[in-house]
Amino acid sequence: MRQEESRPLVLAFDEWLEENLAKLPAESPVAAAVNYDLNHTDGLLRFHNDGRIELDANIVERTTPVVLSRKNALFADHDDGTKKQA
């Protein structure tokens, strides 16, 4: 399914981006976004070739521990931790 339906769309979109990039001001945010997309085409095509690769990085992001109240914990064992600063 990836190669039959999605890959041709990605290739056509990247071709369209390359054709229209010259019409954009070189330093514009849109040109930067287009260049970013074109620089990551190989990775996206790798997704089409290998069914084990997921399209997003959510699985990696979910494994990252969440740090809560780091600033509050700095003074947890300190006598001045509860005093209001002037």
The pTM of this model reads 0.57
Q: Which residue has the higher pLDDT, 21 or 55?
A: 21
Q: Domain limits at 17? A: 2-77
For residue 83, tell me if it sits in a domain: no
pLDDT at residue 85, as a whole number: 57
**pLDDT of 35:** 94
How high is the pLDDT of residue 17? 94
* Sign of the CA dihedral running 32, 38, 39, 43: positive
Is 84 within a domain?
no
16 in any annotated domain: yes
Task: Flag whether 85 is in a domain.
Answer: no
Give the helix ranges, DSSP H, for the chain. Answer: 7-21, 29-39, 41-49, 58-63, 70-74
